[in-house]
Amino acid sequence: MTVLAVRALSKAFGGVQAVRQVSFTIAAGELLALIGPNGAGKTTCFNLVNGQLPPDAGEVEFLGESLLGLAPRKIWRRGVGRTFQITATFASMTVRENVQMALLSHHRRLASVFSLARRQHVDEADALLARVHMRDQADRPCAVLAYGDLKRVELAVALAHQPRLLLMDEPTAGMAPAERSDLMQLAADLARGSGIAVLFTEHDMDVVFRHADRIAVLSGGELIANGSPQEVRADAAVREVYLGSYA
Amino acid sequence: MMTRRRALLGVASLAVAFSAAPLAQAQTIKVGEMNSYKLFPAFLEPYKKGWELALEEINKAGGINGRKLEVVSREDGGNPGDAVRTAEELLSRENVSVLMGTFASHIGLAVSNLANQRKVVFVAAEPLTDKIVWENGNRYTFRIRPSTYMQVAMLVPDAAKLKKQRWAIVYPNYEYGQSATASFKKLLSKAQPDAQFVGEQAPALNKIDAGAVVQALIDAKPDAIFSSLFGADLQKFVREGNLRGLFKDRPVFNLLAGEPEYLDPLKDETPDGWYVTGYPWNEIKTPAHQKFLAAYQAKWKDYPRLGSVVGYSTLYTVANMLKRAGGTDTEKMIAAMKGMEMDTPIGPIVWRPIDNQSTMGAYVGRLAKKQGKGVMVNWRYADGALFLPTFEEVRALRKE
Amino acid sequence: MTYSSVLIQFLNGLAGASTLFLVAAGLSLIFGVTRIINFAHGSLYMLGMYVAVWAAEPLGFWWSVPIAALAVAVFGAGVEIALLRRIYGAPELLQLLATFALVLIVKDFTLWQWGPEDMLGPRAPGFSGAVEIAGRPFPEYELFLIGFGPLVLGALWLLLTRTRWGTLVRAATQDREMAGALGVNQKWLFTGVFALGALLAGLGGALQIPREPATLLIDLSVVSDAFVVVVVGGLGSIGGAFVAALLIAEIKAFCIGLGFSQLTLVVEFIVMAVVLVLRPWGLLGRVPAPARGAGGAEPPLEAPSPAAIGALLALCGALALVPALSAGYTLVLLTDVLVFALFAVSLHFIMGPAGLHSFGHAAYFGLGAYGAGLLLVRGGLPMELSLLLGPLAGGLGAVLFGWFCVRLSGVYLAMLTLAFAQIAWSVVFQWDAFTGGSNGLIGIWPAPWLSSKTAYYYVTLALSAGGVALLWRALYSPFGYALRAGRDSPLRADAIGIDVRGLQWAAFSLAGLFAGVAGALYAFSKGSISPESLSVPRSVDGLVMVLLGGIQTLTGPLWGAALFTWLQDAVARGIDYWRAVIGGVVLLLVLAFPQGLTGFLRRRSAA
């Protein structure tokens, strides 16, 4: 089942065509990595999908409905979770409270002024934290966490809304190599277990080729390959782009 | 039994404590004085020296029926809220018997309003607002200085005599300037029905953009100008007006500009021939003023400003009232003030029973330069009694 | 207006613009590099004026100008080294508080040194007369100023683009951390920039002495003008400051020329509000790079321990017992403390948890006060109803203004709140027939059964304590948490479906409502109400209370309000230079406890 369908997406900045006619789809439970050399248009493409940038042309369809023109928080309501390249958490709250915030939003209880926030959805939050192995750190303030742990908190936060699609921007950026695979394995397990589609960008090719179900390769704003890791590894155009740029 | 006796003892000792307090204070009478010393120092430092001189004289002469007079002086914070708190402090902590002071109209009104609520006598020193004795007057509030209306009325006869048709007006944009302007228009129109008012400029207090204001007045092509500017605004206005030729062949009437507080800073730029109200301290030769002048200069090694006269006379008002009332009973003090006659350095005054306004006047004259300094010439004393509204008008205003 | 008067008014505007530009350029430079909002910039200008008038007597005007400018620059460098350097790491609002303390100290120093009377300087030799322009005499000195402003602009431009030092300044303006990483000696760069800004302010002041007397009131009026210019032009943009100075000075000149002189009270704030609503970063400003790591995150909000709740309840109980012990002035003072405590807590509600820094919170205090007063005096409602309904005026004002304000952030938000407060103030000030104009309204006393000090004290205690409790309680609710979430990370909040602006708007309105309650209580405790209740100094008082107590704690504003009110009351009575004393105390507190009083106490107890 197709969760996300991107069709003929284009975006230009001034005279520079950053993204040109890019199309791809992601199915439920599938992990799609969006890769490409620097300046290939990954970040632009990613921001077009998550609503941070408006495209010049094209369509972003989520479960059959267009996401174009929606504010990020509306996109989230539809069932799209996100993690950021530089983690974004609420520094003045504990780990559990971060997840509780997402749950409160999920249950549409943010405007409540009479209940005590701390007592809401505690078990649900702890269950989510357990899934990302952060249960034992639930009471620590986010401000003091290790970076890898923050990434996992973000994952729990993103899962709170039971999303159908997860957008992860450079999920392992800033982490030690050993940690990277662990985190991505965790994300992959969670996604596959719950049938969540995942779109992620990533620099670390080890991570990409080990965890992605499919890889979409961008170069010069265009999609030059889209297939399984094996297919992409064998793709002549991809080899040229990468070897060319690394040679 | 035991507890009851102890309670009784407690009550008794409390009663002693309370009754002891007035006994201890019987020696002195406390007057609560408050003003915006930090906000208007140019006027209020001389004012303070004025009442300090009066205090010294009064106590040297035996005080109030043998009791010493004490002034508890406070900075009022320069805004009505803090001023009211200051007044409360004077009343409830210092146990003063009467309040005096204040400068700006809104603070004077706020304290007068409190005096009415707390039922204490308040002698307003400097506020010029007409409202404090008329529209918002109350039986506890007395005011010594001639009000805005009165001072305007003192200038209007001269203005009407000139038979100038086109008048431009400039005033600081707050109650004093607004009511000076309204009174001037009303009184001049009455005296000279064909007068026209062709331009009005209301710069914010202390923020006049003098160049633009002077130019706008020139553009209005007036025959004469009425101004109620003072302080820094006046200095800027005079300098720009001189430079840009606004005052050439145009008579100017300016309220208060003859008061040393505002005149002295003008120095050699003092515009010639302006009609002003003020205080020509070095030329007044009445015995009362000579005596005051000598005493003031002896004590302070400085010449008096108008503020000095106001401070001096206000405290003497309080002292005379206390003497006449024979004590500090508020009702007796009010009764004593009604129609009370007394001398001040600038002439005898009467406290009008109908509106609690004194008949203190002001000096009206023209400005001139002498040895690089501004002075008042051709001046005369305008007795306040002649420029007060009639009893009918007052009754209508006070809604009595 | 005739052609020639249009021309003359245009020239008047140009001359005014030059002066405005000099002050604003310095302020903008300082902010650009150090990120300090220098409240004391007007004080530097004032010092420039006084030094120039003072030096002009023996040395003549033209010598006095550079001397004054240099003296102020040296003073500025001293301030930077002795004070600001120690607090660059502190939260920006605390830095603001420190510069505000400087304002108080400089003012009293000036009073002590030069006395209370206005000092008019000499005319400028060589430029003392007038020349004929379009058939009118026009002061030569104004022509000199018209030329001087662009000259300074040019010199600054050369300095910033053609010298190494200028390049460093520009680099630091764009990205302070980056410049630091590039090995720029930040210490001396900052000192240099502050001295240059001070020099410009001193120069502006000195050049003004032929046009207006040096007075003690000029500092705040100049700094508020300069803020407006800098914000309208875009923070950190020198060119923007020039354009904005021109725009505002011309608009003012033509307001006067066209006979709308009353508008000069507020026209610059209207311009600022319009510009900020349409162009949130000023005319030539750029979207600021978010400052990284400034201040440090506050700790999670812990549930109040039973002991803490007990202590607060005991405090309420103790306060309730006070009338039994003393019925006099203590009650009056405590009533004020309670009113300001509620005011400060309501301000803290948006400044702390919601991260909305308001410089104009007094607007809602004043609107509440006027709401109550007008309902009583003009509406003829009973006092009890007026007290309860009046605060709605504060709430409604906050609903209206808040809608615009929450669209901005940081300094721009603060300046927009200030602009709205000034606009509200000017309406109240000018609308004589309804609000009583500058005099305000009197006769606003409690109903007879509440008129004793004790009875009214209990009313105040009940409403203030209730208000504070409600606001605090709201912070523990999902609503309060969502506010903090929006402050901590707007990006993340948005990404989990939190409507940050909507919540901030609601918080702003709620804070306005409770500020209105404080205002209404205040009105009835004083019996009168005047425009000062919504003026800038009242807003600043609120800021000082919140910051003194410490913005990172809930109870901070309470202690801040109590300390500030008590200090003002006790010090003003006993000491002549009380402003300087308050300023000194604030400076000491800022230097000793950069996180505020309660922040310090808490760290002590945690250690």
**CA pair distance B153, B170, nearest whole angstrom:** 17
pLDDT of residue B14: 43
Instruction: Tell me the three state secondary structure of residue B197.
Output: strand
Among candidate residues C100, C481, C293, C181, the one with its CA nearest the CA of residue A103 = C481
pLDDT of residue C577: 79
Enter the tokens of residue C320.
Answer: 């309730």
Q: Which H or E element spans position B370?
A: strand B362-370
**What's the CATH architecture for C3-278?**
Orthogonal Bundle (1.10)
- Considering the domain architecture, whether residues B108 and B240 belong to the same structural domain is answered as no
**CA pair distance C28, C359, nearest whole angstrom:** 18
Q: Which range has highest mean pLDDT (A107-121, A172-186, C495-509)?
A: C495-509
| pLDDT of C99 over the 50 cut | yes
Q: For the domain that residue B121 is a member of, what is the CATH number?
A: 3.40.50.2300
Q: Give the closest of A74, A82, A112 to C478, CB-based.
A: A112
Per-domain boundaries in chain A: 2-79+163-246, 92-162
Q: Which of C481, C483, C504 to mutate to test the interface with A (most CBs of A within 10 A)?
A: C481
pLDDT band at B362 (very low <50, low <70, confident <90, very high): very high
DSSP code of B207?
-
- Considering the domain architecture, whether residues B198 and B72 belong to the same structural domain is answered as no
CB–CB of C474 and A113 under 8 A? yes
CB–CB of B109 and C439 under 8 A? yes
- Tens of pLDDT, residue by residue over C153-175, are 999 999 988 988 888 888 877 77
Partner chains of B (3+ C-beta pairs under 8 Å): C
**CA pair distance B330, B322, nearest whole angstrom:** 10
CB–CB of B84 and C527 under 8 A? yes
- Considering the domain architecture, whether residues B23 and B42 belong to the same structural domain is answered as yes
**C562 to chain B, minimum CA–CA distance in Å?**
15
Contacts of B216 in chain C (CB under 8 A): 5, 9, 256-257, 259, 261
For helices C597-606 and C556-574, the axis angle rounded to 10 degrees is 120
pLDDT of residue C288: 64
For helices C267-278 and C410-430, the axis angle rounded to 10 degrees is 140
Contact C256, C9 (CB under 8 A): yes
CB–CB of B244 and C328 under 8 A? no
| pLDDT of C575 over the 80 cut | no
Enter the tokens of residue B227.
Answer: 């101004």
- Tens of pLDDT, residue by residue over B203-247, are 988 889 999 999 999 999 999 999 999 988 999 999 999 999 999
| pLDDT of A138 over the 80 cut | yes
Q: Would residue B12 count as lying in a domain? A: no
- Averaged pLDDT for residues B254-267: 92
| pLDDT of C49 over the 90 cut | yes
- Tens of pLDDT, residue by residue over C284-338, are 887 765 544 334 567 888 888 889 899 999 999 999 999 988 878 899 999 999 9
> Residue C57 CB: number of other CB atoms within 10 A?
12
Q: Give the closest of A90, A100, A114 to C484, CB-based.
A: A90
Q: Give the closest of C118, C138, C451 to B231, CB-based.
A: C118
Contacts of A109 in chain C (CB under 8 A): 478
Task: Annotate chain A with three-state secondary structure.
Answer: CEEEEEEEEEEEECCEEEEEEEEEEEECCCEEEEECCCCCCHHHHHHHHCCCCCCCEEEEEECCEECCCCCHHHHHHHCEEEECCCCCCCCCCEHHHHHHHHHHHHCCCCCCCCCCHHHCCHHHHHHHHHHCCCHHHCCCEHHHCCHHHHHHHHHHHHHCCCCCEEEEECCCCCCCHHHHHHHHHHHHHHHHHHCCEEEEECCCHHHHHHHCCEEEEEECCEEEEEECHHHHHHCHHHHHHHHHHHC
pLDDT of residue C599: 59
User: What letters, b where the CB count within 10 A reaches 16 and e where it falls short, cover B315-332?
Assistant: bbbbbbbbbbbeebebeb
CB–CB of C129 and B74 under 8 A? no
- Tens of pLDDT, residue by residue over A39-70, are 788 888 888 988 888 899 999 999 999 999 89
Q: Compute the count of residue pairs across chains B and C with CB atoms less than 8 Å apart.
A: 199
Q: Give the closest of A82, A89, A161 to C489, CB-based.
A: A89
pLDDT of residue B124: 95
- Considering the domain architecture, whether residues B128 and B251 belong to the same structural domain is answered as no
Contact B260, B281 (CB under 8 A): yes
Contact B365, B376 (CB under 8 A): yes
CB–CB of C256 and B239 under 8 A? no
- Considering the domain architecture, whether residues B116 and B234 belong to the same structural domain is answered as no
Domain C314-606 in this protein, CATH class: mainly alpha
- Considering the domain architecture, whether residues B171 and B269 belong to the same structural domain is answered as yes
- Considering the domain architecture, whether residues B353 and B312 belong to the same structural domain is answered as yes
- Considering the domain architecture, whether residues B326 and B372 belong to the same structural domain is answered as no
Cross-strand partners of B372: none
**CA pair distance C350, C486, nearest whole angstrom:** 12
Contacts of B212 in chain C (CB under 8 A): 9, 12-13, 16, 252-253, 256-257
Q: What chain C residue is nearest to A166 in terms of C-alpha separation? A: C495
What mean pLDDT is reported for chain C?
88
Enter the tokens of residue B153.
Answer: 């009325």
Cross-strand partners of B381: B363
Q: What is the ipTM of this complex?
A: 0.91
CB–CB of B244 and C138 under 8 A? yes
Q: Would residue B394 count as lying in a domain? A: no
- Considering the domain architecture, whether residues B231 and B194 belong to the same structural domain is answered as yes
| pLDDT of B23 over the 60 cut | no
Cβ contact A–B (≥3 pairs, < 8 Å): no
**CA pair distance C139, C262, nearest whole angstrom:** 25
Enter the tokens of residue A87.
Answer: 């983690």
- Considering the domain architecture, whether residues B158 and B233 belong to the same structural domain is answered as yes
**CA pair distance C197, C30, nearest whole angstrom:** 6
Domain encompassing residue B44 = 19-147+285-361
Contact B350, B317 (CB under 8 A): no
pLDDT of residue A111: 86
The count of structural domains within chain B is 2
Enter the tokens of residue C564.
Answer: 């500030």
**CA pair distance C338, C456, nearest whole angstrom:** 12
CB–CB of B239 and C138 under 8 A? no
CB–CB of C261 and B173 under 8 A? yes
- Averaged pLDDT for residues B3-13: 45
- Considering the domain architecture, whether residues B228 and B375 belong to the same structural domain is answered as yes
Contact B307, B47 (CB under 8 A): yes
Q: Would residue B4 count as lying in a domain? A: no
Task: Annotate C479-491 with three-state secondary structure.
Answer: HHHHHHHHHHCHH
pLDDT of residue B161: 94
**CA pair distance B179, B131, nearest whole angstrom:** 10
Q: Give the closest of A74, A81, A117 to C480, CB-based.
A: A117
**A105 to chain C, minimum CA–CA distance in Å?**
6
Contact C602, C308 (CB under 8 A): no
Assess C8–B contact: CB distance below 8 Å, yes or no.
yes
pLDDT of residue A37: 83
- Averaged pLDDT for residues B37-60: 92
Pick A2-79+163-246's CATH classification: 3.40.220.10, 3.10.20.740, 3.40.50.300, 3.90.1150.10.
Answer: 3.40.50.300
- Considering the domain architecture, whether residues B77 and B137 belong to the same structural domain is answered as yes
pLDDT of residue C547: 83
Q: Give the closest of A71, A90, A118 to C485, CB-based.
A: A90
- Averaged pLDDT for residues B265-274: 91
| pLDDT of C183 over the 70 cut | no
- Tens of pLDDT, residue by residue over C507-566, are 999 999 999 999 999 999 999 999 999 988 899 889 888 888 877 788 889 999 998 898
**CA pair distance B308, B295, nearest whole angstrom:** 12
- Averaged pLDDT for residues B141-162: 94
Residues of CATH 1.10.3470 domain(s) within chain C?
3-278, 314-606
Enter the tokens of residue B60.
Answer: 């040297």
**CA pair distance C44, C205, nearest whole angstrom:** 8
**C472 to chain A, minimum CA–CA distance in Å?**
10
Assess C488–A contact: CB distance below 8 Å, yes or no.
yes
Percent above pLDDT 90 for chain B: 80
Chain C stretch 289-308, residues whose beta carbon is closer than 8 A to a beta carbon of chain A: 297-301, 303
pLDDT of residue B144: 95
CA atoms within 13 A on the CB side of C533: 40
| pLDDT of B21 over the 60 cut | no
Handedness of CA A81, A82, A87, A89 (dihedral sign): negative
What are the phi and psi torsion angles at B123 (to 5°)?
A: -105, 105
DSSP per residue, C416-448: HHHHHHHHHHHHHHH-HHHH-GGG-EEEE---G
Contact A239, A219 (CB under 8 A): no
Contact B338, B369 (CB under 8 A): no
